[in-house]
């Protein structure tokens, strides 16, 4: 089949996108309120970033200055969040950045960003499941139950020498939680949102307990030096370490990105999507900074390269906070569960949206008549997520999520600029302030953080992109519903 440039970059009409979000589209059901969106946002954002990645990023990259890393990431997220708020209120559809790109950049670039979103959500779910496993294993020890390493660690490990087998069969707890969350999602988004709301209350309460009681056990000598001296290698402490740390923890904020994938299932998306995105982002940023400060104050940053750093901090108080330990671990287990839930919800909606345009098989866009959800996409997402979570280590997964998130945020910022020029008269229930300053600065911050990521992460991304191009040319372009006849 001959492929023309006009076919590759053919854009979808914005009126078509908006009509897909209509009340009577007969497909995805509108069940979510503003409160549901805020709790879904917090449920997605507060998870691995606070319970797991804070420790590894402080130990390996930024030291106590990880608080600065979070501030840098938050600035980029606020700017991207304002852009998300504008686009999601204009086009309340399930596709998130994929749908926005289809209007502003054309089909090929929409596929490209959709493929990146699949990477983002797939590896996000997997990495959080690995973090959940670490805390669950630690929690079980509180009750005298010990899982053998052969059933609680990744099958593969990646070091400077390359990939190697660890001797473990599979990370069973990680696979287990993915299966449980999948069962909840198949019960419908209304039920999932209610369960998520309860979990959010539990985990935020536990985090506040850690901050409140942990303040008394801070040793300020652990904050000295606040910015550890660079080792001579870019990204390992010093100023470059702060930026590397910011790039690593950036994905911890992607909850509001997942939130935008639920726009088509929101009762009043024009008003409620901006509220859900911005309120949840503000709350979570404050929690991240406070927890990082307390964590690095209690434990020397060099000791925090573990799967359960907050649990380690509790154990470091010589028994004085031992009563809090099971609550922290329970809160982490519950909290990470809600992250997996929202990320898997977002992952299945991306499959659904791409499939609706014909770029993936129709199998993914089939909707359950009873629940009003893309059940096939949900099952597929859970199976692939479970396999990856069981086989791969946390650090490899988290870096891939970061770069996928940063690319998505950059595209969102650019899309706002393009649509302000190409569609100046369209109704915008929420407008990003200080355009073009906010979108441009947001894109620049995201790009700078991408540059800070390790070369190995870029190599894996390139492999993923090549695979995506093969899928698009082999299947997507032949079945596209917007292709030129």
Contact 128, 122 (CB under 8 A): no
pLDDT in tens, 62-76: 999 999 998 888 888
Q: Note whether residue 2 is domain-resident.
A: no
What is the total count of domains within the chain? 1
Q: Predicted confidence band at 162 (pLDDT cuts at 50, 70, 90)?
A: low
d(CA 132, CA 193): 20
Of 8-12, 83-87, 164-168, which one has max mean pLDDT?
A: 83-87
Query: What is the mean predicted confidence (pLDDT) over 339-346?
Result: 87
Q: Predicted confidence band at 251 (pLDDT cuts at 50, 70, 90)?
A: low
pLDDT in tens, 267-304: 888 888 888 888 988 898 899 899 999 999 999 999 99
Q: Note whether residue 49 is domain-resident.
A: yes
The answer to whether the peptide bond before residue 262 is cis (omega within 30 degrees of 0) is no
Mean residue pLDDT across the chain: 84
Query: What is the mean predicted confidence (pLDDT) over 23-37?
Result: 72
What's residue 74's pLDDT?
A: 84
H-assigned helices in 105-254? 107-142, 172-185, 189-214, 238-249
Which of left, alpha, beta for 281 (phi over 0: left; psi -120 to 50: alpha)? alpha
What's residue 394's pLDDT?
A: 64
- Whichever domain contains 221, its CATH number is 1.20.1740.10
Taking Cα atoms as reference points, which of 334, 352, 303, 300 lies closest to residue 95? 352
pLDDT in tens, 182-192: 999 888 888 88
Predicted confidence (pLDDT) at residue 26 exceeds the cutoff of 50:
no
Q: Note whether residue 181 is domain-resident.
A: no
Predicted confidence (pLDDT) at residue 202 exceeds the cutoff of 50:
yes
Predicted confidence (pLDDT) at residue 482 exceeds the cutoff of 50:
yes
**Which residues, 6+ apart, have CB-to-CB distance to 256 below 8 Å?**
41, 44, 45, 77, 81, 84, 276, 277, 278, 280, 281
Q: Note whether residue 278 is domain-resident.
A: yes
Query: In which domain, by residue range, is 57 found?
Result: 33-122+190-319+393-479
Q: Predicted confidence band at 18 (pLDDT cuts at 50, 70, 90)?
A: low
Residue where the block lists tokens 């990146």: 116
d(CA 248, CA 73): 9
Q: Predicted confidence band at 2 (pLDDT cuts at 50, 70, 90)?
A: low
Predicted confidence (pLDDT) at residue 440 exceeds the cutoff of 90:
yes
What's residue 20's pLDDT?
A: 61
pLDDT in tens, 403-426: 877 888 888 899 899 889 988 888
Q: Note whether residue 149 is domain-resident.
A: no
Q: Note whether residue 19 is domain-resident.
A: no
Query: What is the mean predicted confidence (pLDDT) over 147-176?
Result: 77
What number of helices (H) and strands (E) belong to the chain?
A: 20, 2
Angle, to 10 degrees, between the axis of helix 375-391 and the axis of helix 172-185?
A: 170
Structure tokens, 56: 């590894």
pLDDT in tens, 203-242: 899 899 999 999 999 999 999 999 999 888 888 899 999 9
């Amino acid at each position: 089949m001959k492929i023309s440039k006009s076919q590759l970059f053919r854009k979808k009409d914005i009126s078509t996108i908006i009509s897909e979000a209509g009340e009577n589209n007969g497909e995805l059901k509108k069940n979510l309120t503003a409160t549901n969106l805020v709790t879904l946002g917090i449920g997605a954002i507060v998870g691995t970033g606070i319970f797991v990645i804070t420790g590894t990023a402080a130990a390996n990259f930024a030291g106590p200055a990880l608080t600065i890393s979070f501030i840098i990431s938050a600035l980029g997220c606020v700017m991207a969040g304002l852009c998300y708020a504008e686009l999601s209120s204009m086009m309340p559809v399930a596709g998130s950045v994929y749908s926005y790109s289809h209007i502003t950049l054309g089909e090929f670039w929409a596929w490209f960003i959709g493929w990146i979103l699949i990477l983002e959500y797939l590896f996000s779910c997997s990495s959080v499941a690995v973090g959940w496993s670490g805390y669950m294993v630690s929690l079980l020890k509180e009750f005298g139950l010990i899982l053998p390493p052969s059933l609680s660690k990744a099958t593969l490990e990646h070091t400077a020498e390359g990939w190697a087998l660890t001797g473990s069969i599979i990370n069973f707890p990680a696979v287990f939680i993915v299966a449980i969350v999948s069962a909840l999602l198949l019960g419908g988004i209304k039920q999932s949102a209610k369960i998520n709301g309860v979990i959010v209350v539990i985990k935020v309460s536990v985090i506040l307990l850690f901050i409140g009681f942990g303040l008394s056990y801070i040793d300020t000598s652990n904050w000295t030096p606040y910015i550890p001296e660079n080792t001579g290698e870019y990204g390992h402490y010093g100023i470059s370490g702060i930026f590397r740390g910011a790039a690593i923890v950036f994905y911890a904020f992607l909850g509001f990105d997942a939130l935008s994938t639920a726009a088509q299932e929101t009762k009043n998306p024009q008003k409620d999507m901006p509220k859900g995105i911005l309120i949840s982002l503000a709350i979570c940023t404050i929690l991240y900074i406070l927890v990082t400060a307390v964590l690095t104050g209690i434990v020397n940053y060099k000791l925090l390269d573990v799967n359960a750093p907050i649990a380690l901090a509790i154990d470091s108080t010589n028994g004085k906070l031992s009563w809090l330990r099971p609550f922290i671990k329970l809160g982490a287990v519950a909290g990470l569960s809600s992250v997996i839930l929202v990320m898997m919800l977002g992952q299945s909606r991306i499959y659904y949206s791409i499939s609706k345009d014909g770029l993936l098989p129709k199998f993914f866009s089939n909707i359950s008549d009873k629940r009003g959800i893309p059940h096939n996409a949900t099952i597929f997402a859970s199976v692939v997520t479970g396999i990856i979570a069981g086989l791969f280590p946390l650090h490899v997964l988290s870096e891939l999520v970061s770069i996928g998130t940063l690319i998505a945020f950059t595209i969102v910022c650019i899309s706002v600029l393009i649509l302000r020029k190409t569609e100046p008269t369209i109704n915008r229930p929420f407008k990003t302030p200080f355009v073009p300053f906010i979108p441009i600065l947001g894109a620049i911050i995201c790009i700078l953080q991408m540059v800070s990521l390790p070369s190995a992460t870029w190599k894996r991304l390139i492999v993923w992109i090549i695979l995506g191009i093969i899928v698009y040319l082999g299947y997507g372009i032949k079945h596209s519903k917007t292709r030129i006849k």
